[in-house]
Structure formats: structure tokens, C-alpha cells
Structure 1
Amino acid sequence: MLSSVPGLMSTYTLSVTSRYQACAGEAHWCAVKSILKYLKRTKDMFLIYSGGELILESYSDASFQSDDDDAESQSGFVFKLNGGVVAWKSSKQDTTTDSTMEAEYIAPSEAAKEAVWMKNYIQELGVVPSIAEPVVIFCDNHGAIAQAKKPKFHHRSKHILRRYHLLKEMVSRGDCRMDRVSSTENTADPLTKSMSQIAHT
């Protein structure tokens, strides 16, 4: 069986269960056993890279205030090189957000930092000529995309922590570019929601 995302589907569950390492209960242990069973069943899956020009792209997503314990949001991003996943991250945001737009704006901010690192690394290798182009970060939230492209700060976004506005600088500098993707096509979606909530496979 072939898949482009072998361990990706268990990332969200692993991120959530790791929060309870210090005081794990029976339900947490059952969840960890399920993750291990899933990984065992999918051990023969592997990444597939299509031919052609090597293109690095990223997908980012967030689930607004999804943590029942402290109402913090979950962020996730995926990097693909020619259709094959090369890096991903799923983590709880370290700040409480006021809106879906804010949560969705933080996710590509984190992805942009990773994009700059990956772009510099690939440039040093000298094997991907297209890496000089901005890395496209796909996002499914119009407000977050508009916020990243605005050159000036707006009164509605002045409360967002300054470190997340680094995304604006990276977009204006040409390191990355924000583009829209539908929620059903967003590869980062499984990193922010439980498997039962995912609409696509």
C-alpha cells in the first residue's frame, strides 16, 4: 500500500496525549496504545515523490480554541517537496486567541519560519533551481491571508503578539507567499483535528 503521509495521521493524537505525560490516566494509555497499533499497521507505507521540477510548498491550518483544558488553539503545518511530505509539525499554540483568523494567522507564521530555514538549507545544496522563488504557504482562511499581505498594522490586529507579525516581513521580503486553499484540500488539516472530524483522507 502506498501513501504520501505515513505517520502524519497520528501526529495530532500524539500532540494531545503528550500533554498528559506527567499525570496520565487510563484513557491516555489507551490512546497511546492506539497510536502504536496504528504505526505498526502502517509500517509498510512510505513517501512517494513525483517526477519533474522540485517544488517546495507548505500547508498550514489551525483549530480555534480546540483544547478543552485551557481554550488554546492547535496549529499544524506540512511541507511537501514534489508531492511528498518532508516535514510537519502539530502543536498547541502558546497563546489564547480571540478569533479564528488570529489562530489561522499564527499557524502560517510558524510555517514561514520553517520555510526560511528549509529554503536556506536547500539553496546550500544547490540542487533545486526553483528554490529562489518564494515558498508558497497555503492557508484556508481569507482573513489570515489578508493580514499577512497587509503592509501596515490594523487596529483589529494590534493585540496579536509581535513575533507572529514576522510573517508580514517574510511575505514582503519575498521569502514566502500566502495562497488560498480550500479546507478539503488542506494537507495540514489532520494535524489540527481528531481523525473523526476530518472530512477527507
Structure 2
Amino acid sequence: MYACTTTQPQIAFAVSQLSKVASCPKMFHLQAAKRVLRYLKGGVNSGIFFQTQPQSQVQLVGFSDADYAGDSASRRSHSGYVFCLNGAAISWQSKRQPVVALSTTESEYISLCQCIQEGVWLRRLFGEFGHDHAGGVPVFVDNQSAIALAQNACLHGRTKHMQVRWHFIREMVAAGEVILQWCPTNRQAADILTKSLPFERHGVCMTLLGMQPHDDRVPAADAGVLVLLSLADSMLWVAPTHGQGGVV
């Protein structure tokens, strides 16, 4: 959990899926958790790369994305957002939405609301540091209908049922706190936070998040990953006669 919230945004979706069964895990859930640990061990020499920039060139950018009805049991959608500072991720979230969305536009809109809440806070935080983002923080969305809904306060027949709190977006857009912009899906950095991706697409999102391999020095965090992996191994066993796994 520490890794996915502080240094490894690319595993946030996997961890959020595993968290749903934390109270009653089955054998295949533990095997999936081990796979996440193996992934971390295999990429221990990769991390978020922050580039030095002049104070006048500090740029904060947000990305918001959502899947649609990805949870097969509850049919709830999954939200994901990330904020990057000069191309490196500094804040992100991958979380199942609290209500069932009736369309892709609604799921993207709910995710956008959660993203903007974080963006407003980050803008004010950076303002206290002397970095005022004049004109608002750019937030990129790959759903044009969600952008239109946020910028047009007229009544829409297919979205009039939506809860009032999601329309917080409109107030922040009107106040100039954020600037909504469209981006194609292949440039959507938050895509990795909402679903499992193919290998190539996963690598593209890693680059968009500022994840890069560093030198051959093994970070201290590697020891922690090895300890967790060894503990996970000790929790799994295979019965010698029946060939069925169990938990000890």
C-alpha cells in the first residue's frame, strides 16, 4: 500500500482491486498479490524522475479518466487521476466510484469531480510556495461529453438525475481554478489507474507518469520488497498428495 501511494503509481489499480478482498482473500488473491510484489522486484531500478526547472517554468498538469461499469459484481465504474509536475507524477488516485454511473459520460464526470478537488488543493498549496498558476490548472480528459457537461450549466435530459455534488466541477471551471482540455486516449496518463493495460500501452503510461530507469545502484526499498515477497511465499503451500493450495 505504501508503494502504490508514494512511489509506484502504476500498481495503484492492481492494489485497489486486491483491497476489495482484503477481509476474505482466496488463494488466487494471494497469488495475485505475489505477482504485484514480483513486478515491484523486477522494476526496482525504475522510479519517478523529477527534472530541475527554473522557478518560472514550474508546470502542474492533471489527467482524469474512468472506465465504465468495470466491476462485474456491483457494476460500478473506476476513477483514476494523476497530477504531474513538469512531467513527473506527484499525486494520484485509483478508486471505485461510490455510485453506479449510467453512461460513460457520467462515469468520466464523477472521476473529473474527484480530480478537480485534488487540483484545487494542489494549486493553493503551490500558491503558498510562490508558484501561482495563473489561469488555472490544466486538466486533461479524453471524453468530450464530460467536458461539455462541465462547461454548460443547461439542463441535460440524460444527466439531470446526477447528484448536486458532482456539479462542483462547474463552479471551479467558472472560477478559473481549472482549465478542462481534451486529449486523445493514447495521451491519457490516468488510463493506467482505471484498468489493466496491454504491455505496450502500460509502458506508454509509465513514460507519461515520468517513470524512468535509474542507475545500477539498488535502492534501499529493494530490501523491503524482498522481505514482503518472502513473507508471501511463507503463506502459500501446496499439498503433496492432492496438489491443492492452502493458506497456513
**Which TM-score applies when normalising by structure 2?**
0.75
The corresponding residue for 2:227 is none
The corresponding residue for 2:126 is 122
C-alpha displacement of 1:153: 3.2
The corresponding residue for 1:58 is 62
Q: Is 1:184–1:200's contact at 8 Å kept on the other side of the alignment?
A: no
C-alpha displacement of 1:17: 0.7
The partner residue of 1:147 within 149, 160, 163 is 149
1:178-193 mapped onto 2 (5 Å cutoff):
178-193=180-195
| CA distance in structure 2 between the aligned counterparts of 1:12 and 1:186, rounded to whole angstroms | 15
Evaluate the alpha carbon distance shift between residue 45 and residue 197 of structure 1 in structure 2; reply closer, same or farther with a 3 A threshold.
Answer: closer
| CA distance in structure 2 between the aligned counterparts of 1:139 and 1:36, rounded to whole angstroms | 31
Q: Which amino acid aligns with 1:47?
A: I
C-alpha displacement of 1:195: 3.0
SS at match of 1:199: helix
Of residues 16-25 and 150-159 in structure 1, the stretch that sits farther from structure 2 once superposed is 150-159
Query: Is residue 87 of structure 2 the alignment partner of residue 87 of structure 1?
Result: no
Query: Is residue 140 of structure 2 the alignment partner of residue 138 of structure 1?
Result: yes
| CA distance in structure 1 between the aligned counterparts of 2:73 and 2:10, rounded to whole angstroms | 23
The partner residue of 1:113 within 110, 117, 124 is 117
The corresponding residue for 1:194 is 196
The corresponding residue for 1:176 is 178
Q: Is 2:173–2:180's contact at 8 Å kept on the other side of the alignment?
A: yes
Q: Which amino acid aligns with 1:164?
A: W
C-alpha displacement of 1:76: 0.1
Q: Is 2:135–2:179's contact at 8 Å kept on the other side of the alignment?
A: no
1:6-41 C-alpha deviation (Å, 9 max, x unpaired): 612211111111000111101111111111111222
> Taking every aligned residue pair, what percent have the same amino acid on both sides?
32
SS at match of 1:110: helix
C-alpha displacement of 1:64: 0.2
| CA distance in structure 2 between the aligned counterparts of 1:75 and 1:157, rounded to whole angstroms | 18
Q: Is 1:149–1:171's contact at 8 Å kept on the other side of the alignment?
A: yes
The corresponding residue for 2:26 is 25
Gaps of 5+ in 1: none
Q: Is 1:6–1:42's contact at 8 Å kept on the other side of the alignment?
A: no
Q: Which amino acid aligns with 2:72?
A: D
1:92-129 C-alpha deviation (Å, 9 max, x unpaired): 00100100000011111100000011111111111x24
| CA distance in structure 1 between the aligned counterparts of 2:71 and 2:201, rounded to whole angstroms | 20
Which structure has the bigger radius of gyration?
2
Q: Is 1:75–1:191's contact at 8 Å kept on the other side of the alignment?
A: yes
| CA distance in structure 2 between the aligned counterparts of 1:141 and 1:24, rounded to whole angstroms | 35
The corresponding residue for 1:13 is 14
Of residues 50-59 and 185-194 in structure 1, the stretch that sits farther from structure 2 once superposed is 50-59
**Which TM-score applies when normalising by structure 1?**
0.91
The partner residue of 1:166 within 154, 163, 168 is 168
C-alpha displacement of 1:200: 5.1
| CA distance in structure 2 between the aligned counterparts of 1:111 and 1:188, rounded to whole angstroms | 11
The size of the alignment, in residue pairs, is: 195
| CA distance in structure 2 between the aligned counterparts of 1:32 and 1:198, rounded to whole angstroms | 22
CA-based RMSD: 1.7
SS at match of 2:114: helix
